[in-house]
Amino acid sequence: MTTRIDTRFAELKKQGRAAFVTYVMAGDPDITTSLEIVKALPKAGAEIIELGIPFTDPMADGPSIQAAGLRALKGGMTLKKTLELVRAFRKDDNATPLVLMGYYNPIYIYGVDKFLADAKSAGVDGLIVVDLPPEEDDELCIPALKAGLNFIRLATPTTDDKRLPAVLTNTSGFVYYVSIAGITGAAAADANVVGEAVARIKRHTGLPICVGFGIRTPEAARAIAEKADGSVVGTALVDALKNSLDAEGRATAKTVNAVAELTAALAQGVKAAKQAAE
């Protein structure tokens, strides 16, 4: 099984550079604008897109992404509509890898088998489900792999060498290294500390390692891209979106461009990491 994620990392490896991975919340601030934003991301330089599944109790997310989820839910976003958004995106883009990121509850309610079939047919490439540990692999991870989807696991600063093999078992696509202990958007990532962590994880796996949480600027994205196989930015993009909304929290003429412009600047930072390494 070769997914779009595997293909994209193989392409980037040949070019000798890291991936720029973006995260946005599906349905934020409304379904129509959200689709426009997702369509704009690859044109602005995003090489992999993580799409958040709105959920009422997002325990790993900081205030910005929690608020994004609530805006999406208020606008009527559901898991079914998230898959419809993916399907609409795929009409014009069959190459950009798309990962759904969220929590198990909405998937469980939807029905695992139905969800995996619908996600695959819509054009989803991988899943990040933050509240399912390796001990629960039979719930979703193994069925997802059988359905042809990558199952991407999180490793954190507290994932020691004893725990790491369990985390990496059945993981595919890439490993998502959480650069800080805490919630999204809470602190800045330290590139040197991240570099040591990435080197340690690479001793256990040949999978690409992408680093997220705490990357907000092109400079930070570049510094991480010099140490890892990918830089992941979410909160900064969600904040750019929020700051473009009107007083009632509705999209304005600036909303899509606000996210696209920051994406382009961050993408340049990641691409500059290759130049620095040459």
Distant-in-sequence, close-in-space partners of 208: CB < 8 Å, separation ≥ 6: 9, 19, 174, 175, 229, 230
CB 130 within 8 A of CB 106: no
CB 154 within 8 A of CB 211: no
d(CA 191, CA 22): 18
Tokens representing residue 264 in the block: 């382009």
Q: Which residue among the candidates 30, 61, 125, 239 is catalytic per the annotation?
A: 61
d(CA 169, CA 207): 11
Nearest to 272 by CA among 240, 215, 231: 231
Q: Which residue among the candidates 30, 50, 137, 239 is catalytic per the annotation?
A: 50
- Count Cβ atoms below 10 Å from residue 177 Cβ, excluding itself: 27
- Count Cβ atoms below 10 Å from residue 206 Cβ, excluding itself: 5
Nearest to 193 by CA among 224, 221, 217: 224
Catalytic residue at 219?
no
Catalytic residue at 50?
yes
Tokens representing residue 47 in the block: 């090489």
Active-site residue set: 50, 61
